[in-house]
Structure 1
Amino acid sequence: MNPFLIVSMAVGLGILLVGGFYFLVYYQHPDDRNEAYIPKFVVLFGFVLAGATVLMFPLDVANNEGYAGCQGYDTEFCGGLDMELLWSIVFILIPLWVFCLIPFMTFYYEADDGMLMAGTVYSPNPVKRSRLGEALCYQIFVLMIVGAFFVGLYFTLSDAEIPVQDYTASQGIGLITADNAFTFPSLGGGNSSSFKVNMLVPMRPSDEAWLNNMEETGEETIVLQVDIPTFFANLMAWLGWFLFALFGGIGLAALPIDLILAYTNRPRVLDPVEYAEIQLNLRERVNELVEVGEMLKIERDERAQIGLKGTLFSFDAERRKAARDERQALIGFKQAVFLLEKDTEDFKAATVSRDSYNPLIPYASLLLGLCSIGISLLWFAHVILYVFPSPPLMTFLNEYFVWFDQWFPLFGVLSVALFTLYLLLCAVKGCFKFGIRFFLFHIHPMIPGKTYMSSFMFNTALVLLCALPVVQFSQLAFADYGAYSEIRQLFGVQIQNLKFFSWFWESHIFIYVFMGLSVVTTLYLFCKPKDQAASGKELKKRIGSRRS
């Protein structure tokens, strides 16, 4: 077993644990400081699991980088790590966190906050239960839906059709070397002049050289039922791609642009006229949002007390419409409050808190923004040059990583880790950016010292759902660099050839959406770079029209 890989795993997990703990302490709200210990445990190890998932790809590559030099195929994993087992553990832990621990902790935490037991438009006269009982009821319902969905799909769509090529030697060419080691991952053997080559085992350079002397005589298919962890990984990746294609594509453009804007909009000295105008604007926005908050509270209390009247059909339709309107108003209110707090902090940094403000922060944002622009452009160019064309126009980043490994192996691994982790950051940024511009779901920003556990758990679930799409995208984008990795065989062969799902993977439909949204977002943010708060007057008018 390679001691370097063991040390790398230990150091990586240690960094993730320390970083996750610091991240949790730095961002948590003071109200949660001495409470919600179990949700904090779920969040901490959820972030560690997401980070470990994307970092396992470069570890997998490092573990199998000597595959081409292994003597024979009796060595299952040349670096000494059973990556197939490690990937199976990850494939099980991610759905456990996403569908079991995070939902249960969310229900329990919200019940503790009084949200599930209060009367709402959905349930005007609720039956109060204990927090644990309330959370268990919701969790059992989630598990029933997820379990039925998974079991049904596994027994109908778990067969992978693996292509097998038939080859025939024009002259008798022995397939055994002097040390009796097979030179082909073939189904034939000995000195036979015909044999089969499948995609389940990667070929070494010597094998590919042999193929130049062979004639392909046909193709057939092996039907293989994938195991439960691998199929669940496929299903989680497929579901996660809907989120990652949307949020990751937006974040690939929004992350560098917002970092640059943080520098260009840095606090500066205000003259008396600017000071008075900004102060007056903030005061007016505060007063408007206080009124909106009071109106929302009164409306919710009234609906909880009297419910909605009418026939069964009209009652359902009216209740759904009222719930939708109430939800949209609440989302707009939260978005306006968040932007008001942000503008207030910027105003304080330029006035009363000017002496304590760190002037290096904008320049750090500028540096990170320039680095982000470079990484986003490299990802965009790599997809255009390597992923979309068949065959690729050039290996691009693959060649750079291989060159780095030859010079100093650690740099190549760290480079792959940087590019994969960057995609996760883009997904989180894209989710927040989309939520703050379009009022379709509640925003969950990560604000230092002001983040509640509900926002932590939402972002943890989002990161975990996007982790496997990031791994799948990375193994496809860096196929030459990770040709001998175990995840390449799982995602690039078994999952790639699963019934129904193969169309999504082979046509690159998700990647096209990902890249298209990145371009559209770039153009959109150049036209409208500043986040605009929902109008307090419009919110009051909307709420007032519903109550009249």
Structure 2
Amino acid sequence: MGDFNVALVIVAAVVSVLVLLVSVYLLVNYQHPDDANQAYFPKLVIVLGLTVAVLSILMLPADVANRQACRKAVYNGALNFTVRHLSSSVQPFPNSFSGFSSGQPCFNQLPRQCAASTTPANSQTTWTMRATFPEYVVALTTIVGSVLFTIFGGVGIACLPLGLIFSFVRRPKAVITRSQYIKEATELGKKVRELKKAAEALHQEERSGNKGRKWRKNVKALEKELLLLEDDMKALEEMYPQGEQAEATWAFTVLGYIDKLIFGVVGLIVSIAWVEHIVISLLIDPPLSSFLNEVFIKLDGVWGLLGTAAFAFFCFYLLIAVIAGGDDAWFETCFHHNSPDEVTASYLGILFFPAVLLITNQSICFRWGGTLMNSFLFNVGLILLCSISVIQFGATAFAYYAQATAAQEIFGHTLQSLRGIKYLYKYNVFQYGFVALAFLTLFY
């Protein structure tokens, strides 16, 4: 093992296995029943994609912890592994970078670094050095991911906790009577028959070859009505549990909404902490405080990996916010309701979200037991693109805590020095957009 900390290696191995198992669990429970015994290759891509995305984000706190355990090998080991891992997230042949080896000498850069160290302190010189190909690929991918991350992450960091809290507020307060259940079920039955007639009419138009813009618009409207019908049916089942264990089912329903309230409150605290940290430590010059950096350092003083665990939680929360902001169900909650006590999405979110759907022609809705493979693949692609941006965002926001790490070297110094794109990161363009969208989502 050399100078690697054994405990850190064990934790990394256990977390990797858990992430793989959770990815399989999500696929099994979120997939549509029609895809249960088919589409095995897309399923493999989904599991690997989710695993790589999550582990890529967790590599940032692991890199911070590794800095303490492996001082001598931080650049030869952590940098090599991080670049390989991130490169594999954005291109299908990670072995093509086999020439980028930890044992490769860097004699061509050594004279420049030595000359810079012997330069007088009062002189100013701009050094131009060639970036490695993996670093530039990651940089270009980070730009695309940063745009999506700014949109979906900014909207999601507000919608995620508030959606959970308002879900608790709109929960069924008590079990309805049998007569009420029959009345509601009858209304749903009428709606089912109407939607069936509309589907048959659209199917007839499809057979006749009349598949113009109006037909596609009607299909989208029918899909939306079917999703709302499923939600109404689930809500009715919650309000009137049946079977021999009806009381236990109702008890679990109540506990589920209490869990949503708890997670919503915790998420709201984390979202506020994130926005506050970005404003006072990145957007204000000079920074008012390092805030969460100091919190992580103090937690490390309590226990070696406690600050790293908190750091990982805050980074992973950003990815959850991206999923929440990009998921169609969250946007339905945000701007397709008219009640004054419900959350509404920002006008920018309304503008950007259809644009993404028009480009991809996919629905990115994550639904328990009802997610089709094309939606799953789109979600995984979105998560992979945004995962690198989450790492860059975390490395920038927690630059003080993540200093002297491979991620900081790549996303801190390299991105801010590359020609053509350095100004986007030097002037915190994406951070401003992230905070602006978060506030617009909250107030509009």
Distance 1:62 1:349 in 2: 45
Q: Does 1:251 align with 2:156?
A: yes
Alpha carbons 2:146, 2:389 under 8 Å: kept: yes
Residue of structure 1 equivalent to 2:26:
23
Listed as ranges, the matches of 1:326-405 within 5 Å are 326-353=215-242, 354-355=246-247, 356-357=249-250, 358=252, 359-405=254-300
Offset, 1:90: 1.9
Listed as ranges, the matches of 1:485-504 within 5 Å are 485-504=405-424
Residue of structure 2 equivalent to 1:204:
none
Alpha carbons 1:64, 1:484 under 8 Å: kept: yes
**AA matched with 2:230:** E
Change (3 A) 1:91 1:272: closer
Residue 420 of structure 1: which of 294, 310, 315 is its match? 315
Shifted more, 256-265 versus 418-427: the winner is 256-265
Normalized per residue, which structure has more strand? 1
Distance 2:129 2:331 in 1: 41
**AA matched with 1:242:** V
Distance 2:141 2:427 in 1: 19
Distance 1:250 1:188 in 2: 44
Distance 1:294 1:412 in 2: 58
Alpha carbons 2:74, 2:405 under 8 Å: kept: no
Offset, 1:443: 2.9
Alpha carbons 2:65, 2:305 under 8 Å: kept: no
Offset, 1:242: 1.5
Distance 1:483 1:326 in 2: 56
Residue of structure 1 equivalent to 2:203:
297
Residue of structure 2 equivalent to 1:479:
399
**AA matched with 1:344:** M
- Which of structure 1's runs of 4+ aligned residues deviate more than 6 A? none
SS in 2 for 1:409: coil
Offset, 1:219: 1.9
RMSD: 2.6
Distance 2:74 2:150 in 1: 33
Alpha carbons 1:247, 1:430 under 8 Å: kept: yes
Residue of structure 2 equivalent to 1:231:
136
Residue of structure 2 equivalent to 1:465:
385
Q: What TM-score do you get using the length of structure 1 for normalisation?
A: 0.67
Alpha carbons 1:60, 1:485 under 8 Å: kept: yes
Offset, 1:21: 1.4
Normalized per residue, which structure has more helix? 2
Residue 41 of structure 1: which of 40, 44, 56 is its match? 44
Residue 263 of structure 1: which of 153, 168, 175 is its match? 168
**AA matched with 1:236:** T
Residue of structure 2 equivalent to 1:407:
302
Q: Does 1:523 align with 2:443?
A: yes
Distance 1:409 1:327 in 2: 57
Q: What TM-score do you get using the length of structure 2 for normalisation?
A: 0.81
SS in 1 for 2:91: helix
Distance 2:89 2:191 in 1: 42
Larger radius of gyration: 1
Change (3 A) 1:339 1:412: same
Q: Deviations over 1:37-59 (max 9, x none)?
A: 22111111110000011000001
Alpha carbons 1:91, 1:230 under 8 Å: kept: no
Distance 2:62 2:150 in 1: 25
**AA matched with 1:450:** G
Residue of structure 1 equivalent to 2:12:
9
Alpha carbons 2:42, 2:373 under 8 Å: kept: yes
Distance 1:281 1:406 in 2: 61
Distance 1:225 1:281 in 2: 68
Q: How many residues align?
A: 392
Offset, 1:518: 0.9
Distance 2:147 2:33 in 1: 35
Distance 1:409 1:23 in 2: 31
Distance 1:463 1:28 in 2: 17
Q: Which runs of 5+ in 2 are unaligned?
A: 95-112, 336-349
Change (3 A) 1:222 1:281: farther
Distance 1:333 1:224 in 2: 56
Distance 2:433 2:190 in 1: 41
Alpha carbons 1:241, 1:466 under 8 Å: kept: yes
SS in 1 for 2:123: strand
Residue of structure 1 equivalent to 2:82:
87
Offset, 1:285: 3.3
Offset, 1:284: 4.2
Alpha carbons 1:401, 1:415 under 8 Å: kept: yes
Distance 1:427 1:327 in 2: 28
Q: Deviations over 1:187-223 (max 9, x none)?
A: 466xxxx536xxxxxxxxxxxxxxxxxxx41322111
Offset, 1:12: 1.6
Offset, 1:337: 1.4
SS in 2 for 1:220: coil
SS in 2 for 1:219: coil
Q: Which runs of 5+ in 1 are unaligned?
A: 102-184, 197-215, 308-321, 525-548
Residue 372 of structure 2: which of 452, 467, 479 is its match? 452
**AA matched with 2:417:** N
Distance 2:165 2:26 in 1: 23
**AA matched with 1:482:** A
Distance 2:200 2:428 in 1: 49
Change (3 A) 1:34 1:271: closer
Shifted more, 33-42 versus 13-22: the winner is 33-42
Listed as ranges, the matches of 1:177-192 within 5 Å are 187=115
Q: Does 1:282 align with 2:188?
A: yes
Offset, 1:520: 1.2
